Structure 1
């Protein structure tokens, strides 16, 4: 299966932006170890908007560029596993995923609902 990032769009058409919230969880891991691993992930992939974490769960928010929701979701589901070794991430599994188009994300923010105020941009902090 080809990498969704390589899907060719019609000439002149640009990929869409999708707001992704990815939740992972698993066995207890020291919070300092989790914090350090999330920091390394942010260095590897500068797309990370923010993250929250405990000793057994992390929630990441970021923008993904993809041609469709299916591609954005597929990329999100692979993110943690693809960076597990290089960023030293805990051996956790995906426990939640939300993918929103840009319009829906901004509409929710205007309504005062959704994840817009989850953590300030660039922040990595405990729950």
Structure 2
């Protein structure tokens, strides 16, 4: 069964923007942009979920893991594979017995963002060949708090350079 967005015209009625904007092969698409300072949490924004009308927000996640010493090359390779599999990861720092992963997660609320973050390491331990470490720390903050901390000069520094780096 196909679910339609509230207010969307059924397929083939000409009511959708896609149906009205037929392009020839190779013809460039018109791009749209978002004005600077736009509120991304307004209803109807890209962050609003269509299924239940609940709003989704961005959360900055810092996940810390630790465990038995593992050769640095294996830790780096595992984190690089995780970043390759999930390009949402901003930056990872690592040593032979611990690592920190920072990224943005889109979720309805803090509980959902934290639940996804707490599953990240365990669910990808096999596929990315990550060390069998345990999660020892988790910080989940909303986007406004993250930017306020940066502006005030405390909290985590901006995630730059992006990538996997040793401590």
TM over 0.5: yes
Partner of 1:4: none
- Cα RMSD of the aligned pairs, angstroms, is 1.6
Task: Return the TM-score normalized by structure 2.
Answer: 0.68
Q: Which of 21, 33, 40 is the matching residue for 2:81? A: 40
Task: Return the TM-score normalized by structure 1.
Answer: 0.88
Instruction: Say whether residues 1:30 and 2:47 are aligned partners.
Output: no
Q: Is the alpha carbon distance of 1:121 and 1:36 closer, same or farther for their aligned partners in structure 2, counting shifts above 3 Å?
A: same
Instruction: Say whether residues 1:123 and 2:163 are aligned partners.
Output: yes
**Quick one: distance in 1 between partners of 2:89 and 2:161?**
9
**Quick one: distance in 1 between partners of 2:52 and 2:150?**
31
Alignment of structure 1 residues 1-127 onto 2, 5 Å: 10-11=52-53, 13-117=54-158, 119-127=159-167
Aligned length in residues = 119
Greater gyration radius: 2
**Quick one: distance in 2 between partners of 1:57 and 1:9?**
39
Q: Which runs of 4+ in 1 moved over 2 A?
A: 7-11
Conserved in 2, the CA contact under 8 Å of 1:53 and 1:59? yes
Identify the structure with bigger relative contact order (alpha carbons < 8 Å, sequence gap 6+): 1
Which of the pair is proportionally richer in strand? 1
Could you tell me which runs of 5 or more consecutive residues in structure 1 were left unpaired when the two chains were aligned.
1-6
